[in-house]
Structure 1
Amino acid sequence: MPETGAAEQGDGALVLFSGGQDSATCLAWALHRFPHVETLGFDYGQRHRVELDRRAALWQGLSALDPVWAGRLGPDHTLPLAALGEISDTALTRDSAIALAKDGLPNTFVPGRNLIFLTFAAALAYRRGLRHVVGGMCETDYSGYPDCRDDTIKALQVALNLGMERRFVLHTPLMWIDKAQTWALAESLGGRALVDLVVEESHTCYLGERGTRHDWGYGCGACPACVLRAKGFSRYLAARAE
């Protein structure tokens, strides 16, 4: 995934690309819409760091699916954010059991994560000459994370545009759809080939388990992320069979 010079396309997009199902679908969504698309991943000491290792195969697989997408797909970037992991005491950054915290939120919630991700993404988009920033945040089928809410994203867009004197647009194509609809969106964008690519190459499991292959992909099968993905895939297949 080579990095070249800055994009000349003012309407280009930067996609937050973690290596998971949602971000892979968002990348396909962006490639369908924008003339130039770059990707950005973050290494913050996440327990499921294996997701970063899946990004290259997904990136290459998406490029191979469609020659138009291949022509639009630009450089990939990875930023180290070890400080976020160091100040976070969560089940995503520590070897601890996944449970509900006293405030009612899952202890997989990493405070400030999406706010930091989108701020760094906007700063990179500023330098790269990209106007659109795409993220996989969703408040339909989610764990209650407050930084995934539509109101949060809209408020941050206002703050970023004021603070950088730009007119960034933060896109969240999954905001109002559930996991079954996310699978269906992937199929509508890239056919069964894209669904198969997401199943085989993406990673969602919070524990970083990559040994067990299920019909929906790899994972422990028991953590909240695996359960959500599995149930969504089952509903997607059922809807497809109707």
Structure 2
Amino acid sequence: MSSLSISSAGTGHHSRALVLFSGGQDSTTCLAQALTRYEHVETLGFDYGQRHSVEMEIRPSAREALTEAFPEWRDRLGEDHVLSLDVLAQIGGSSLTDDVAFAMQADGLPNTFVPGRNLLFLTLAGALAYRRGISVIVTGVCETDFSGYPDCRDDTMKAMQLALSLGLERRLLIETPLMWLSKAQTWQLAHELGGDRLVELIRRDTHTCYQGVRDQLHDWGYGCGNCPACELRARGWAQWRGGMV
């Protein structure tokens, strides 16, 4: 677990959390965990001109599926917020926002990297948390099974936690439950949180595919099966089902 997590989470004054929720496997797992720990949980999504905009379309149904499958979470799940960040598409240069093929860049990062994306996400999440009286921000970034994105690293999260706490003059915690987990371990965490019901919900009701494909259902969920996000999700599923956790 991330070193940013605290043992008292979900108790005392840390009773309200804001989950950065894209509708994908990772953020849905984080949302499920937050609903087991906090009295009140709100969600935040970002429309930044992503090519796989289908993730914005399935977010509401994924939230609803959680409360249908786990009625005990319904009273804890609060408001959903969506903010526009089309400035990222205006900057361009990423295969997630431009119609270009997936490839590696000269700097060693994949061109799926959207510079500043998570930094902006967390800054706006901090501002919203301030207005909503929330002290915990939960995000599904990961340094173990990721594409090399520098804004997913533990050091970046610690720096953002400090900057937001100072800049808002309010103690904010950034929790990263998946920071040191592989994709197989993320599937395992979902199973520990909600058993086969949650695993099946994540498999069928979430979206990860960068191509936005929703008409091909694989063992691990919907997707094209070829983009980096699908390959990572499929590999993690195979390792988890094979007991390689």
Which residue among 169, 174, 177 is the counterpart of 1:170?
A: 174
Aligned residue number for residue 59 of structure 2: 55
What secondary structure sits across from 1:199 in the alignment? Answer: helix
Runs of 4+ that moved beyond 6 A: none
Residue 122 of structure 1: aligned partner: 126
The answer on whether the counterparts of 1:36 and 1:72 sit within 8 Å (CA) in structure 2 is yes
Is residue 138–residue 176 contact of structure 1 (8 Å, CA) maintained in 2? yes
Structure 1 position 214 matched with structure 2 position 218: yes
Q: Which SS does the other structure have where 2:46 is aligned? A: strand
Give the deviation of 1:96 after TM superposition.
0.5
* Residue 157 (1) aligns with residue 148 (2): no
**Secondary structure of 2:63's partner?**
helix
Identity of aligned residues (%): 61
Q: CA–CA distance in 1 between the matches of 2:61 and 2:198? A: 12
Tell me by how many angstroms 1:66 deviates.
2.2
- Is 1:232 equivalent to 2:239 in the alignment? no
Equivalence map 1:10-159=2 (5 Å): 11-159=15-163
Structure 2 portions without partners, runs of 5+: 1-12
TM-score scaled by length of structure 2: 0.93
1:10/1:129 contact within 8 Å kept: no
TM-score by length of 1: 0.94
Q: How many residues align?
A: 233
Structure 2 residue identity aligned to 1:199 = R
Separation in structure 2 between the aligned mates of residue 67 and residue 90 of structure 1, nearest angstrom: 39
Q: Are the aligned partners of 1:65 and 1:190 in contact in 2 as well (CA < 8 Å)?
A: no
Tell me the alpha carbon deviations over residues 36-63 of structure 1, each in whole angstroms, 9 at most, x when there is no partner.
Answer: 0000000000011101111111101111
8 Å contact kept, 1:88–1:111: no
Q: Is the 8 Å Cα contact of residues 122 and 160 (structure 1) preserved in structure 2?
A: yes
Q: Secondary structure at the match of 1:76?
A: strand
CA distance in 2, matches of 1:63, 1:131: 23
Cα RMSD of the aligned pairs, angstroms, is 1.2
Q: Secondary structure at the match of 2:111?
A: coil
CA distance in 2, matches of 1:67, 1:51: 24
The unaligned stretches of length 5 or more in structure 1 are 1-8
